Amino acid sequence: MKTLFILFVLMNLDQLLKTGRCTETQDQIISITPKTQEQVDILKNVSTQYETALWQPVSPQYIKEETEVHLFVPANSSETVKDLLQKHAITHGVLLANTNELIEMQTRNDSTDPRSSSTFYERYHSLEDIYHWINRTQQDNPNMVKAILIGSSYEKRPLYVLKLSVNNRPNKKAMWIDCGIHAREWISHAFCLWFVQNSLSFYKLNQDITRILDNMDVYILPVMNPDGYQYTWTTNRMWRKNRSVSKSSNCIGVDLNRNFDANWCTEGASDEPCTEIYCGAFPESEPESQAVANFLRSHKDSVQFYLSIHSYSQMLLFPYSCTLDEAENHKDLLEMAQEAAQAIRRYYRNTYKYGSGAKTIYLAPGGSDDWAYNLGIKYSFTFELQDRGRYGFLLPPSLISRACNEALIAVKTIALKVIEKT
Ligand code: ARG
Ligand code: ZN
């Protein structure tokens, strides 16, 4: 009896110690608003020299006074980073203290859950699962869905586009959606799956979806950066770029959304392979961007609406991002984005900013949206989905449906406008 009791105490002690240790040593997301130029410089230093990942802004060069910085700090650099901040009297808040738990929640395999098939679209899926899903979706809907191989990634993974098409009208218009240019933006991949599922389930039931599919073919690339996505599941949840090896550096990866031929590698991109916004060796140097560009070039007569899905920050953006100049149909684009944002506000009471990329966030050349626009796809958008920083890239699965429905209503609003105008 006595030994049992001692054992019991020991077991609980161990439990206590474990949980204590866990909360103390988890990876965290911290938030800092620098007040002086000195603090700005220190932050730039921290985010480049220590083993951290900048969540916001995308690159240290954009850190400035009075704007909030979100920084991922892994447990093992936590003390060093916090000491350094303290030494310079920089205060920080903790946005997320339980990063490890959130990541665990996002990658949990729920396939043993009896309800799992009904919640499939409300969970995140590994790359392998998504490839299976592509296959199954095509097999289950032979009259509406066709998978098209458009190329392969740097590590030779296939790039599949799903074509949704309900009829063969002559001169049929089309729209394009790509997801997951940036590996860590998991809600983006989830949206592409959501969109396909919704279209297939509600064709002939929902008036808007029916009108859209009757008038347009839809091309969907659910995973534009499969190597990066795989890497976020196995090795580093915060990875953004693709996984290509550079000739000139040990650093890996090109920012695919800086690799297109639109004022390529000017201000807002970097020719330094170690940065998160590395533009690559030349425009379309990467197989992933080249595959997308080739496909769009060969379909540019039909594709009227280009859409690229990212996260986070809740924005509906349109060209240009590579220059401060206004697009030729700026007024149209603004009106469409505004209407989409209003729909989101009306139906979901959530706020999305909208405007041209360069004026709404920052100059960012070499983006797919600007390139597609210059190719002649006059309705070109980039959506930044939920949230605004509460969970950032670690949006919990329970928020997938809200985030996707919001984006869906925005897509529908714009697609219907495109049909009207073209
Ligand atoms: N957050 C996205 C990025 O940095 C914004 C994309 C807007 N469009 C663009 N062409 N930069 O890539
Ligand atoms: Zn992105």
The rounded Å distance from CA 205 to ligand 2 centre is 33
Atom of ligand 1 nearest to the CA of 317: 7
For residue 390, give the DSSP letter.
Answer: S
Q: Which two tokens stand for residue 266?
A: 């000017």
C-beta separation of 381 from 307 below 8 A: yes
Instruction: Give the closest ligand to the alpha carbon of residue 357.
Output: 1
Q: How far is the CA of 181 from the centre of ligand 2 (A)?
A: 7
Task: State the CB neighbour count (10 A cutoff) for residue 342.
Answer: 14
Q: How confident is the model at residue 117, as a pLDDT?
A: 67
3-state secondary structure of 381: strand
Residue minimizing CA distance to atom 12 of ligand 1:
257
Q: What is the pLDDT of residue 17?
A: 42
pLDDT in tens, the chain (422 residues): 555 555 544 444 444 444 444 446 789 999 999 999 999 999 999 988 888 999 999 999 999 999 999 999 999 999 999 999 999 999 999 999 989 999 998 988 655 555 566 689 999 999 999 999 999 999 999 999 999 999 999 999 999 999 999 999 999 999 999 999 999 999 999 999 999 999 999 999 999 999 999 999 999 999 999 999 999 999 999 999 999 999 989 999 999 999 999 999 999 999 999 999 999 999 999 999 999 999 999 999 999 999 999 999 999 999 999 999 999 999 999 999 999 999 999 999 999 999 999 999 999 999 999 999 999 999 999 999 999 999 999 999 999 999 999 999 999 999 999 999 98
Using most ligand atoms within 8 A of CB, pick from 61, 311, 321, 374 the residue to mutate for ligand 1: 321
Give the C-alpha separation, 258 to 382, whole Å: 14
pLDDT value of residue 93: 94
Start-to-end C-alpha separation, the chain:
82
Amino acid 111: pLDDT: 58
What are the φ/ψ torsions at residue 237 (nearest 5 degrees)? -60, -20
* Ligand 1 atom 10 nearest Cα: 367
Cα-atom radius of gyration of the chain, to the nearest Å?
22
Is 141 within 8 Å of 134 (Cβ atoms)? Answer: no
How far does the centroid of ligand 2 lie from the alpha carbon of residue 385, in Å? Answer: 10
- Tell me phi and psi for residue 276, to 5 degrees: -75, -15
Atom of ligand 1 nearest to the CA of 362: 11
Identify the pLDDT of residue 241: 98
Q: Which amino acid appears at position 278 of this protein?
A: Y
Edge-to-edge order in the sheet of strand 158-164: 145-152, 158-164, 216-221, 173-179, 303-311, 379-385, 315-318, 353-356
Find where tokens 């998504």 sit.
130
The whole-angstrom separation of Cα 94 and Cα 42 is 18
CB 350 within 8 A of CB 385: no
pLDDT at 84: 93
Ligand 2 centroid distance, CA of 86 (Å)? 31
Residue to mutate (ligand 1; options 56, 59, 361, 370; most atoms within 8 A of CB): 361
**Which residues have CB under 6 Å of ligand 1?**
58, 257, 310, 317, 321, 357, 364, 367, 369-370, 382
257 Cα–ligand 2 center, Å: 8
SS (H, E, C) 129-168: HHHHHHHHHHHHCCCCEEEEEEEECCCCCEEEEEEECCCC
Q: How far is the CA of 139 from the centre of ligand 2 (A)?
A: 31
Say which ligand is closest to the CA of 382.
1
Q: Give just the sign of the alpha carbon dihedral 219, 173, 290, 244.
A: negative
- Compute CA distances 412 → 207, 305, 317, 337, whole Å: 11, 11, 16, 11
Q: Ligand 1, from 264, 333, 356, 382: best to mutate by most atoms within 8 Å of Cβ?
A: 382
Let me know the angle formed at the C-alpha of 288 by 239 and 363, rounded to the nearest 5 degrees: 65
Please, are residues 163 and 218 in contact by the beta-carbon 8 Å criterion?
yes
Active site residues: 384
The interface pTM score, or ipTM, of the predicted complex is 0.96
Residue of minimum CA distance from atom 3 in ligand 1: 257
- pLDDT score of 201: 96
Closest ligand, as measured to the CA of 181: 2
Ligand 1 atom having least distance to the Cα of 366: 10
> Structure tokens of 121?
């679209």
C-alpha span between 321 and 139 (Å, rounded):
39
The pLDDT of residue 21 is 44
- What single letter denotes the amino acid at residue 224? M
Q: Which helix (H) or strand (E) holds 287?
A: helix 287-298
Q: Would you tell me the crossing angle of helices 226-234 and 127-140 to the nearest 10 degrees?
A: 130
